[in-house]
Amino acid sequence: MSDYIIGLLMGFISIVIVNNLVFTKFLGTCPYLGVSGRLDMAFGMGMAVTFVITLAGVLTWLIDHMILIPNNLIIVQYICYILVIAGAVQLVEMYLRKFFPSLYESFGIFLPLITTNCAILGLCIFLFVWNVNNFAEAAVLSFGAGIGFTLAICIMAGIREQLKFSDVPKSLEGAPITLITAGLLTLAFMGFAGMIK
Amino acid sequence: MSSNAMTVKDVVKAGLWTEIPVLRLILGMCPTLAVTTAVKPALTMGLSVMFVLICSNIMVSLIRNLLKPHLRILMFTLTIATFVTIADMFLKAFMPKMSEALGPYVPLIIVNCIIIARAEACASKCGILVSAVDAICMGIGFTVVLCILASIREVLATGTILGIMVMPKSFVPLAAMQMPVGAFITLGLILGLVNFLTAKKA
């Protein structure tokens, strides 16, 4: 039993740090570059994505293993995934509009665009590709992927807040310097590579 | 892009230069960064995206008068998901090796922001002809950018282009170019270069 829990914990750490979706798989790069201007917004975005990714990961895993695989319907897999994700995002949108209107305003267009966050669809596909055939593992990996995304986007936002005070060459301002910073960050995270399978 | 009456000439110019995907609009980053380790996968990815973009733009343009505003994003993604499934099956059947190399990045075309952005900005407002031309031009623009990025990375990482050796024997490959670091930094520098040239021209 304790082996099982340690295995889950290892899976969690692995997807948060070693196999972080943003740093190693380039997933979720759009919001990672787009919404990382301010730390509080980045954190809010990270939390929203974590919620959606956990919900979507668990639901798509269940749909895969209860409906699609037994009935040999893998062909409609992507369409099912995107429907689940869009539904989950709609839920978050309604919740935020009701309880956190100011946060809802500041997200603007980026909130519905969580639907098109590749980290979420990417994770659902990876759960299938990696042959995760255990419900608890799927749930832990989904949650970990969300935390990993939050970690990445918050580090980036912290750096970008400092970057405002530095003297960046004119033509590198904005997106280019953000990309170069992201490159250096992945270099740092590469140090963890191979620590856990 | 806010004007309602877009002409063929407008969309050609936008797709190939003034709004060329990736460089001008920071959209569609995941595939751009992930598949550009070599020219061949980049070219395959570019063409797949172009196929999906053309089909979805035509389809969205056909149903544009039936769309309900609050459901449109969902309709766009469902349309795109259908065509991506087709593209994915085609690659699996006829190019199994390439399909394996691209891996999850083929289904991830569904959430490529460029396709949804074109459905929203062009296809849901324009006729079939303009939407189709827009899709072709945006697709070409996207493919060209992918290939440029991929050739820089392939040459520096292995000294080859499309598998053909182009560098002298004494060339020392930079393995980092094949890793995520290379992708981010190369794209950052290309964007900087484009900004620099545009500023110089103005």
Is the model's pLDDT at B1 over the cut of 60? no
Domain residues for the domain of B57 are: 8-147
For residue B179, tell me if it sits in a domain.
no
Would residue A76 count as lying in a domain?
yes
The whole-angstrom distance between A8's CA and the closest CA on chain B is 24
Q: How confident is the model at residue A197 (pLDDT cuts 50, 70, 90)?
A: low
- Please tell me if residue B193 touches chain A, with a CB cutoff of 8 Å: yes
| pLDDT above 70 (res B137) | yes
Nearest CA in chain A to B188: A176
Least confident of A1-10, A16-25, A130-139, B16-25: B16-25
CB nearest to A79's CB, from B78, B108, B182: B78
A34: which chain B residues are within 8 Å (Cβ-Cβ)?
A: 26
Mean pLDDT, chain A, whole residue set: 86
pLDDT band at residue B11 using 50, 70 and 90 as cut-offs:
confident
Q: What is the least distance, in Å, from the CA of B87 to any CA of chain A? A: 12
Cβ B110–A121 below 8 Å, yes or no?
yes
Q: Is residue A9 part of a domain?
A: no
In a domain, A1, yes or no: no
In a domain? residue B164: no
Residue A123 lies in a domain: yes
Would the CB atoms of A190 and B193 count as touching at under 8 Å? no
In a domain, A197, yes or no: no
Q: Domain for residue B118, yes or no?
A: yes
Q: Is A7 contained in some domain? A: no
* pLDDT above 80: residue B22: no
Subunit contact A26:B180, Cβ cutoff 8 A: yes
- Quick check: B159 contacting A, CB < 8 Å? no
The answer to whether B192 contacts chain A (CB < 8 Å) is yes
Give the closest-approach CA distance of B199 to chain A in angstroms: 8
Residue B55 has pLDDT above 90, yes or no: yes
Residue B29 lies in a domain: yes
pLDDT above 70 covers what percent of chain A? 98
> A196: which 2 tokens?
């856990």
> What integer is the mean pLDDT of B63-83?
85
Number of domains in chain B: 1
Distance CA B21, CA B202 (A): 21
Cβ-Cβ contacts under 8 Å, B88 against chain A: 78
What tens digit of pLDDT does each residue of B171-202 get?
777 878 888 888 889 988 988 898 888 888 77
Residue A40 lies in a domain: yes
More confident residue, B87 or B169: B87
Domains contained in chain A, number: 1
B130 domain residue, yes or no: yes
Contacts of B82 (CB under 8 A, 6+ apart): A79
**Three-state SS at A191:** coil
Is B123 part of a structural domain of the chain? yes
- Which pLDDT does position A146 carry in this prediction? 94
- Tell me the C-alpha distance between B81 and B74, whole Å: 10
Segment A72-87 mean pLDDT: 88
Ranking A40-54, B19-33, B84-98, B150-164 by mean pLDDT, the lowest is B19-33
Q: Is the pLDDT at B91 greater than 90, yes or no?
A: yes
Residue B28 lies in a domain: yes
Q: Say how many CB pairs under 8 Å bridge A and B.
A: 128
Contact A116 B82 (CB under 8 A): no
Domain assignment present for B38: yes
Do B30 and A30 count as a contact with CB atoms less than 8 A apart? yes
Residue B167 has a pLDDT of 76
The per-residue pLDDT for B3 is 45
d(CA B64, CA A55): 31
- Measuring CA to CA, which residue among B109, B113, B140, B130 is closest to residue B15? B140
Q: Nearest CB to B33: which of A29, A34, A169?
A: A29
**Inside any domain, residue A196:** no
Confidence (pLDDT) at B5: 58
pTM of the model: 0.86
Give residue A97's pLDDT. Answer: 87
CB interface of B with A, residues 124-153, below 8 Å: none
Tell me the pLDDT band of B49, cut-offs 50, 70 and 90. very high
Please give the residue range of the domain that contains residue A33: 14-188
Choose the weakest-confidence range: A124-128, B13-17, B103-107: B13-17
Report residue B57's pLDDT band, with 50, 70 and 90 as the boundaries.
very high
Residues of A in contact with B196 (CB under 8 A): 171
